[in-house]
């Protein structure tokens, strides 16, 4: 007895779907190339030289170029002081993903959106450090009465919160911004700032660090130290001969490499002018007041009062 086999149906939907997906991907790729072809990099001052092309998103006249703006304002960073500096004009929507290390300062470009203005400009690289932000004010922008809309904001070594706050505080009518980037690492930027002459550090404002030192006999001494905004508290104190370590840790500490957690100070006033605590720092200082900080990872952007040798609790018994 013969039995008939059920008919076999072959599905051709899979090849059709693959073909459609490949076609869509090809069309998207061509569209991206077409868009980028209409958006050449903006005018960039790198190594003190101006490129010969203009971008539709940043058309500069002789009076509104970033170089002219910088020359008119002594508070701006002199990009001619270092070949690794660049002042770039970009739309306000940058398409940049910002990042920092555990100190939550020295903000850098962590990633670029493939369709963002910064990526399409070709002038911004992953790893570039942000140094300055200045809103672009032209005839179509409504300037405020005190004329501070176009003031350059120095962001060298600034906290992540300050950088994000600077962008958030831009007026609604601001469409473009001039940003100074440093092409190098955090350590290289620090070295450039300490190089002397008319350099990166010239535009930074001065702050006062008031230090309350506790003496072995129970008395206290007060010292005023002038420093630049964004300075590292431990470095300023140790450079001025002030000890921030208790007991044997004066000789066994990690020398500011963020490893030992023994350089504890108390920010008794002005804590809002410092960078926020990282999770690691907060864990190290558990069971202590919120004003306690590790001086090696604390950066001051305003006047602060620092107390050395504050009383510490059980979690820091080795300090």
CATH number at residue 263: 3.10.20.30
Confirm whether 268 is domain-assigned.
Answer: yes
Are 212 and 195 found together in one domain?
A: no
Q: What is the pTM of this model?
A: 0.50
Are 195 and 218 found together in one domain?
A: no
Of 150, 169, 203, the last residue of a domain is 203
- What sections of the chain are H helices per DSSP? 13-37, 66-72, 117-121, 160-168, 186-193, 233-239, 249-252, 279-284
Are 310 and 162 found together in one domain?
A: no
Are 106 and 87 found together in one domain?
A: yes
Q: Under 8 Å CB-to-CB from 222, ≥6 apart: which residues? A: 210, 211, 212, 213
Are 158 and 299 found together in one domain?
A: no
Are 78 and 180 found together in one domain?
A: yes
Are 169 and 189 found together in one domain?
A: yes
- Among candidate residues 291, 298, 288, 290, the one with its CA nearest the CA of residue 319: 288
- pLDDT tens, the chain, 319 aa long: 555 555 555 545 555 665 666 677 767 666 655 544 444 444 444 333 333 222 322 223 333 445 444 444 556 788 888 889 999 999 999 999 999 887 778 899 999 999 999 999 999 999 999 999 999 987 554 444 444 567 888 888 888 888 998 999 888 889 999 999 999 888 888 877 765 433 455 555 789 999 998 876 778 889 999 998 888 899 999 999 898 887 766 676 787 777 888 889 999 999 888 888 888 888 888 888 999 999 998 988 889 999 998 888 655 554 4
pLDDT number for residue 197: 39
Q: Looking at the DSSP assignment, which residues form a beta bridge with residue 209?
A: 225, 304
Q: How far is residue 201's CA from residue 78's CA, in Å, rounded to a whole number? A: 10
pLDDT number for residue 117: 92
- Among candidate residues 104, 92, 96, the one with its CA nearest the CA of residue 169: 92
Q: How far is residue 276's CA from residue 231's CA, in Å, rounded to a whole number? A: 14
Kindly tell me the number of DSSP H helices and DSSP E strands found in the chain: 8, 15
Quote the mean pLDDT of the chain.
Answer: 75
Of 203, 219, 245, the last residue of a domain is 203
Residue 265's domain spans which residues? 206-316
Tokens of 239: 């450079």
């Amino acid at each position: 007895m013969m039995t008939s086999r059920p008919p076999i149906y072959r599905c051709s939907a899979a090849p059709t779907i693959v073909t459609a997906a490949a076609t869509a991907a090809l069309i998207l790729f061509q569209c991206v190339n077409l868009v980028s072809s209409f958006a050449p990099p903006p005018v960039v001052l790198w190594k003190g030289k101006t490129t010969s092309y203009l971008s539709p998103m940043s058309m500069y006249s002789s009076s509104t170029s970033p170089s002219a703006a910088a020359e008119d304002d002594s508070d701006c960073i002199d990009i001619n002081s270092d070949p690794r500096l660049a002042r770039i004009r970009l739309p306000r929507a940058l398409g940049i993903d910002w990042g920092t290390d555990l100190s939550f300062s020295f903000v850098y470009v962590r990633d670029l959106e493939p369709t963002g203005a910064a990526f399409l400009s070709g002038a911004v690289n992953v790893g570039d450090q942000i140094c300055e932000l200045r809103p672009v004010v032209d005839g179509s922008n409504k300037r405020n009465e005190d004329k501070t809309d176009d003031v350059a904001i120095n962001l060298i070594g600034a906290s992540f919160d300050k950088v994000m706050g600077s962008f958030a505080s831009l007026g609604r009518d601001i469409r473009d911004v001039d940003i100074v980037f440093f092409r190098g690492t955090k350590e290289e930027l620090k070295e450039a700032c300490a190089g002397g002459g008319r350099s990166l550090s010239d535009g930074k404002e001065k702050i006062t660090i008031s230090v309350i030192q506790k003496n072995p006999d129970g008395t206290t001494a007060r010292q005023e130290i002038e420093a630049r905004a964004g300075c590292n508290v431990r470095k300023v104190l140790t450079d001025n001969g002030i000890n921030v370590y208790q007991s044997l840790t004066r000789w066994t500490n990690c020398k500011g490499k963020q490893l030992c957690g023994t350089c504890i100070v108390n920010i008794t006033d002005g804590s809002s002018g410092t960078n926020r605590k990282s999770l690691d720092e907060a864990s190290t200082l558990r069971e202590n007041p919120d004003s306690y900080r590790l001086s090696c990872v604390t950066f001051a952007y305003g006047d602060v009062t620092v107390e050395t040798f504050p009383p510490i609790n059980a979690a820091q018994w080795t300090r």
